[in-house]
Structure 1
């Protein structure tokens, strides 16, 4: 009776170890894939706008242009800012 429980426990432990090893291997492979994607993306990064600035600076410039447009529209409508 005890040997049956011991056999079941050892089998479960071996199975769990195999599953954990497979999951760890898959996780490491996924991390390697994402690292390669980031390196490839960094190597081919194109500026978002013509001036050659990065994404953050482009967003700031777009926000500035939107603000200028809003002010020009207000002036054209005769609203005093």
Structure 2
């Protein structure tokens, strides 16, 4: 009886540790993916950079 309870507890702890490791892996993958914005975000950033460049040129008095 006690041996079976101990084995069930041990199996439960192993399953819990496996689940925690899976969640840690998922979180590390999610953080890695956040470094790269989606393609539309990159296009928008490039557009904004171009607009800023043009505004800086206008402010400096340079005709583009």
TM range (shorter): 0.5 to 0.7
Unmatched 5+ stretches in structure 1 = 54-81
Runs of 4+ with >6 A deviation: none
TM-score between both structures, scaled by the size of structure 1: 0.49
Q: 1:22 to 1:33 in 2, by over 3 A?
A: same
Unaligned runs of 5+ in 2: 50-64
**Pair member with larger Rg:** 1
Question: Which residue pairs with 1:16 in the alignment?
Answer: 12
Higher helix share: 2
Q: Name the Cα RMSD after superposition.
A: 2.4
